[in-house]
Amino acid sequence: MTDVAELPPAGRAAAPSLAEAADRIRRSAAYVVVPILALVGSGLIFSLFLLALGQSPAEFFGLLWRGGFGTAFSWQNTLVRAAPLIFTALCVAIPAQLGLVVIGGEGALVLGGLAAAVIALPIAASLPAPVVLAAMFVAAAVVGGAWIGLVGLLRHGRGVNETISSLLLYYIAISILNFVVEGPLRDPGSPNKPSTPSIGEQNMVGNIPGLDVHWGLPIGVLLCVLLYLLMSRTTFGFAARVTGGNVRAARGQGLPVGGLVVGACAIAGACAGLAGFFEVAAIQGKANASLIAGYGFSGILVSFLARHNPLAIPPVAILFGGIAAAGGLVQRRMGLPDATMMVLQGLIFVVLLASETLYGRRLPAWLGGGK
C-alpha cells in the first residue's frame, strides 16, 4: 500500500519524466505488439502446415490478400462479412469486462434474426418500411438480450458456468429455429429450403450510398464506440470492470453485482441479436438455416484478438471478414477444403492464447530489455 504522503499533492499533476513516459508507452505497446506477433506466428505455422500438404504458402497468402483486400470488389465483400462479426464480437467483449466468458452469441444471433423475421410477418405489407425495420430491430435486440441475459441470470442466481450454459442455449436455439422455420411459420412458397416468408424487398436495409455494403457496418462501428464509452466513461462501466477485477471487492463496495452481470449479458445478447437482424434484414430477407453461419464463433476469436476492447473490434473484424471473403477464392484456386479457413482461424486463436504468456515479460537483453 502506498503511503498517502508519497502521493503527488492533489490538484497538481506531477510532470511525468521522460523515462516514465517511455516506460508507459512500452507497456501499452505490448497490447498491440503481442497480438501482431501472434498473427505473424500463426501465419508461419500455417505456412508450415501448407508446405507439409504440398501447397504454396506464398500462393495462399497472395490469394488471401487479393480476395480480401486487393480490389474494391473484394473490399466490399470483406466489409459485408465483417459487419456481423462486429456485433457477435461485442457479445463476447462486454461480458468479458466482468470476467465472464460467454460464447453463445451464435444462439442469440439465430433467435434475434428469427424474432425479426417473425415480427415482420403481420406488418410487412401494411406499415411503412422504417416502422417495420424499427420493430424488427427492437425485436431482435430484445430476444437476443433476453437469451444471453438468461445466461447472466443463471450465473448470478445459481452459479452456473456461463460458458457451458451459453453454449447449451446455442444448441437449444438451433432447435427452436428449425422448429419454427420448418413448422408453424414455414413459407409455403419455398418448397426446397424451409424458411419464413420474405419480409419484402421494400423492407430490406439498404446499402450505404456509393458502396455495396449495408448500413449494418457503420451501425456496428457506432455501437462499438458507444459501448466503449459506456464501459470506460460511465459508472455502470466502471462498476462492471471492478466486478470483473474482484467480485468480492465489488460486493464489499455495495455494487449491484447481480444487476451488472445480467445487464452486461443482456447488452451482449442484444448485440448478437442485432447481428441476426442485419442478416435477415440486409442479406437474406427471411429467416432460415442460413442464419447458422458460424458468425457467433468467429466473433469469439475477433473479441479475443481485440483483447475485448470494443474500439479494437472493428479492425479485427475487418481482418477476419477478409479471411472469410477470400476463403472461396483460395479454396477454389488451390483445391483446399472449406474447412481451411476454420483451421486458420482456430490456429490463430490457439497461438493468440499462447502469446498471452508474453505479457509482463521483460524483453531479452539483446533486444534492449532493462532491469
Residue found by looking up cell 476492447 in the block: 309
Per CB under 8 A, the list member of 252, 337, 364, 368 interacting with another protein is 337
Smallest distance, Å, CB 177 to another protein? 9
Stretch 104-143: interaction string toward another protein, x if CB under 8 A: ----------------------------------------
Taken as a whole, the chain contains a residue count of 371
Q: On the CB side of 294, how many CA atoms lie within 13 Å of its CA? A: 11
| Residues that contact another protein, how many (by CB under 8 A) | 45
Contacts to another protein from residues 156-185, by CB under 8 A: 156-161, 163-165, 167-169, 171-172, 175-176, 178-179, 182-183
Is 31 a binder of another protein (CB under 8 A)? no
Beta bridge partners of 288: 195
Smallest distance, Å, CB 128 to another protein? 35
Is 247 a binder of another protein (CB under 8 A)? no
SS3 assignment, position 195 = strand
Is 338 a binder of another protein (CB under 8 A)? yes
Smallest distance, Å, CB 178 to another protein? 5
Smallest distance, Å, CB 279 to another protein? 20
Please report, as a single letter, which amino acid is at residue 149. G
How far is Cα 296 from Cα 170, in angstroms, rounded to an integer?
10
Is 245 a binder of another protein (CB under 8 A)? no
Per CB under 8 A, the list member of 36, 51, 208, 350 interacting with another protein is 350
**Is residue 68 a contact partner of residue 323, using CB atoms and an 8 Å limit?**
yes
Is 335 a binder of another protein (CB under 8 A)? no
Among candidate residues 140, 145, 105, the one with its CA nearest the CA of residue 120: 140
Smallest distance, Å, CB 165 to another protein? 6
Shorter beta-carbon distance to another protein: residue 199 or 305: 305
Q: Which stretch binds another protein (CB under 8 A): 74-82, 192-200, 237-245, 342-350?
A: 342-350
Q: Which stretch binds another protein (CB under 8 A): 83-91, 153-161, 284-292, 320-328?
A: 153-161
Per CB under 8 A, the list member of 103, 136, 205, 313 interacting with another protein is 103
Q: Which stretch binds another protein (CB under 8 A): 66-74, 137-145, 322-330, 347-355?
A: 347-355
Q: Which residues contact 16 (CB under 8 A, 6 or more apart)?
A: 24
Is 359 a binder of another protein (CB under 8 A)? yes
Please report, as a single letter, which amino acid is at residue 370. G
SS3 assignment, position 59 = helix
How far is Cα 170 from Cα 108, in angstroms, rounded to an integer?
7
**Dihedral class, residue 56 (left if φ above 0, else alpha if ψ from -120 to 50, else beta):** beta
Number of other CB atoms surrounding residue 20 within 10 Å: 11
Q: At what angle do helices 18-52 and 57-65 cross, to 10 degrees?
A: 120
Is 363 a binder of another protein (CB under 8 A)? no
- What are the angstrom distances between the C-alpha of 186 and each of 22, 172, 282, 292, 317? 62, 19, 20, 17, 33
**Is residue 315 a contact partner of residue 125, using CB atoms and an 8 Å limit?**
no
Is 32 a binder of another protein (CB under 8 A)? no
What is the C-alpha end-to-end distance of the chain, expressed in Å?
23
Is 20 a binder of another protein (CB under 8 A)? no
Binding site for another protein (CB under 8 A): 101, 103, 154, 156-161, 163-165, 167-169, 171-172, 175-176, 178-179, 182-183, 297, 300-301, 304, 337-340, 342-343, 345-347, 349-350, 352-354, 356-357, 359-360
